[in-house]
Amino acid sequence: METTNEETAATQIAKETTSSKTLSRRELLGGLGVFGATMLLPKVLSAAPSKRTFTILHTNDLHSNFVGMSPASDYSPFTIGDDKTLGGYARLATLIRQRKEARQSLGPVLILDDGDYSMGTAFGAAIRETGGELQLLSHMGFDATTLGNHDFDLGPDGLSQAIDVAAKAGRVLPVVASNTHFDTNDATLVNIQRLAKLGLIRRHLVIERGGIRFGILGVLGKEAQFYTVGAGAATFSDPIETAKEMVEVLRETEKVDVVICLSHSGVLQGKDGRVTDGEDVRVAKAVPDIDILIGGHSHTALQEAIIVNDHTPVVQTGKYGENLGELVITLEGGKLKVESYRLIPIDDTIVGDQPLPRKSTSTSRPSPKLFSRRVVTASISRWPWHRGIFPTPSPTLPPAHHSPISSQTLSAKPPRPTSHSPPTE
């Protein structure tokens, strides 16, 4: 049987990550024959170096802002000092590469996104045909993302089409959605159920890198759920209860060293101007076994990490790719400590990542200042970042599986909040 690009993409993800399914006793015992006693060790790191360092680079609420926030004609990503653009994927790609190269000799580097990667510009309207947002995140080296409320704007079927196109192009990253459930018997969920079976959408993710096992979960906050107008037949469970469930699986079954929560929930600014509350903070407080919480939804640029329960940093970069977050953590004696945290602006002091060389003999590339919204057939390995050109999808979709997702449970939609803050993007 011919292997599809989707299956290849899923296999590639599996090479660096472990399955999101809970291991049975038989599977666990069988695994011991391959991995030895490592799988049964408690969370102790005494055999490892006394002090280890890792770095998390992160974004949130990118909202399809491929070319940054400025008039398109002002955006010249391959030169510096000549525009006032904030953001832009070409410059973001350069900065991620530079910071990864600078940090990886000191320990493992994870690159994570906190959802709402789509919708907000004209590019977002074409996501079903291009999967462009997910392809670009994959190209930049992101390890995982989660789902924000706006990622449902085109419905669950539109969401699945975007993931499908990116997977077929061979450029997709795991989508970790712990409290989002797609197991209702509904025609609009058939394709997304199939993608979940392939592991492209999962309840949790484990990455082992640099001798450290990282466990990642993703939750959509209650307010964000309320504003998920395109949820359709998808349902959501309580983010705190789900986080507790996932932490137990990650700690007890997967034996991870570090638990990271991607929480698309938001924070709140007090009357004194300080940010000390919000759903992201409440999730961290209620689930103390979360080591790190990457936040989003409220579009808040946190210049300093909010430390919850005296040990869990809550961080967020703002919106639209205007900043890249860099969180440096040390792990010593089973305890984590924030060594440093900062937001790095994405501006015209950064020379944008150049497109890879063309593999065809087509006509020469237009000027870097030219901005086109058209979608053309092109090799994804050579797209001009700043012009938003992506390949057209394959017209034929593989057959879908109709069986429900065994690892996900049906949950009722949350009740309408009696009070809430104004809608957030």
* 246-263: pLDDT as tens digits: 999 999 999 999 999 999
Q: Which fold has domain 52-387?
A: Purple Acid Phosphatase; chain A, domain 2 (3.60.21)
DSSP-derived secondary structure for 132-195: HHHHHHHHTT--BB---GGGGTTHHHHHHHHHHHHHHTT----EE-SSEE--SS-GGGHHHHHH
pLDDT the model gives residue 405: 25
More confident residue, 273 or 148: 148
Retrieve residue 180's tokens: 């989002």
Between β-strands 180-181 and 235-236, what pairing exists: parallel, antiparallel or unpaired?
A: antiparallel
**What is the pTM for the complete model shown?**
0.78
C-alpha–C-alpha distance, residues 46 and 19, integer Å? 26
Q: CA-CA-CA-CA torsion for 172, 77, 324, 168, nearest 10 degrees?
A: 0
C-alpha–C-alpha distance, residues 198 and 191, integer Å? 11
Q: What residue segments make up the domains of the chain, in order of their start?
A: 52-387
The pLDDT tens digits of the residues spanning 177-208 come to 999 999 999 999 999 999 999 999 999 999 99
Retrieve residue 299's tokens: 């579009």
Judged against a pLDDT cut of 80, whether residue 156 lies above it is answered with yes
CA 229 to chain CA centroid, Å, is 21
CA dihedral sign, ordered 166, 168, 172, 177:
positive
Kindly list the distances between the CA atom of residue 264 and the CA atoms of 316, 344, 381, 424, 425, in Å, as whole numbers in the listed order.
10, 21, 30, 11, 11
Count the Cβ atoms, other than its own, within 10 Å of residue 47: 8
User: What's the pLDDT band for 212 if we cut at 50, 70, 90?
Assistant: very high
